[in-house]
Amino acid sequence: MNPVPIIYENSEIIIINKPQGVAVQGGQNIAHPLDRELPQQLGYPVYLVHRLDQETQGLLVVAKTPQAANKWTHLIGEKAVTKEYDAVCIGVPSNPKGQFKSSINDRGIEKSALTFYEVKKTWDIDSYRLSLIHLTLGTGRMHQIRIHLAKAGFPIAGDDKHGDFKANKAIKKLTGIKRLQLISSRLTIPVDGQNLTFELEIPFKVELKPQSEVNTSSC
């Protein structure tokens, strides 16, 4: 496994760019989980603060001590940390900005969930329309973004668990998209009385010219 890119570090936490395909936590049939590989890279243990799906790339906070892990888990739970994502989706919402608000079964328990969205670009590909959607978590349920988008009728391209398998297969032939098109692209955290924001370049390569830039100035 290649070294995990480190985006930021202080005495309490490290922010990394988790590669796509790397599981955050070990388990059955998981060969190179982050919670084992990152300590080997750094030379000291780390403690998980939150999770990303195995197929989701992007910004992830890990703590250096159990005390820091407790603190940052609490900060995330209190929404002092803002987590934002970008996804290529199949379909285009009728409103360029809005929210998805429906309950999600999180580890066997129905919980309320809230995701804010903004459409950034759209494409026409054969008989399909794709959209680049920016998403901000209002809550942090398991697979929340994937489930909310699928329920709303705009599943993430490459999501064969919650999305549209038939459409994924067709779009793969048309565009070369093979994996889940979701990235944890922007993270804002409180440090020493101020908010620090970290942002990744969106890696999605849809090899077609964008049909339109969505105008959201009036929303």
**Any idea which residues carry the catalytic annotation?**
53
| Dihedral class, residue 178 (left if φ above 0, else alpha if ψ from -120 to 50, else beta) | alpha
Write down the residue that tokens 């924001």 correspond to. 197
Joined tokens for residue 33 = 């989980």
Report how far apart, in Å, the C-alpha atoms of 104 and of each of 53, 77, 137, 155 are. 16, 17, 13, 15
Which is nearest to 147 in space by CA: 199, 187, 110?
A: 110
Q: Are 153 and 142 in contact (CB under 8 A)?
A: no
83, 93, 84: which is closest to 155 by C-alpha?
93
End-to-end CA distance of the chain: 44
* Cα separation, 68 vs 86, whole angstroms: 28
Q: Pick from 147, 13, 11, 165: which is nearest to 87 by CA?
A: 147
The neighbour count for residue 123, using CB atoms within 10 Å, is 19
What is the rounded distance in angstroms from the CA atom of residue 178 to the CA atom of residue 87? 14
